[in-house]
Amino acid sequence: MKISEFQKLIERIYFDKDNARGLEATHMWFCEEVGELTRALRRDDDRANLEEEFADVLAWLSTLASIKGVDLGAVAAAKYAKGCPHCASEPCNC
């Protein structure tokens, strides 16, 4: 599944509720999920939980992008298509 397809899936599941909650409150949920991912990374002993937290962070990031009308797949591809946005190398030589 491509990033843009994932974002559309998350929109179908959650957009109405997340949009009604508003950008600021939805951003707070995103931050909470980033904190949960941080804890999972520190533990590093529960692979299933780590994978779940990565998925949750991506879902909440997708929701924030949707609320602001940003296609994550398109903007990420455009920014990084030529390698590092600063030095244009793969891997980065900055």
Structurally, how many domains does the chain consist of?
1
40 within some domain: yes
CB atoms within 10 A of CB 51: 11
Question: In this structure, what CATH number is given to the domain that contains residue 30?
Answer: 1.10.287.1080
- What's the confidence (pLDDT) of residue 44? 78
94 within some domain: no
Give the span between the Cα atoms of 64 and 4, in whole angstroms: 13
CB atoms within 10 A of CB 71: 15
Q: The pTM is what?
A: 0.92
Q: Answer yes or no: is pLDDT of 69 > 90.
A: yes
- What's the confidence (pLDDT) of residue 45? 87
- What's the confidence (pLDDT) of residue 37? 97
Domain of residue 34: give its range: 3-80
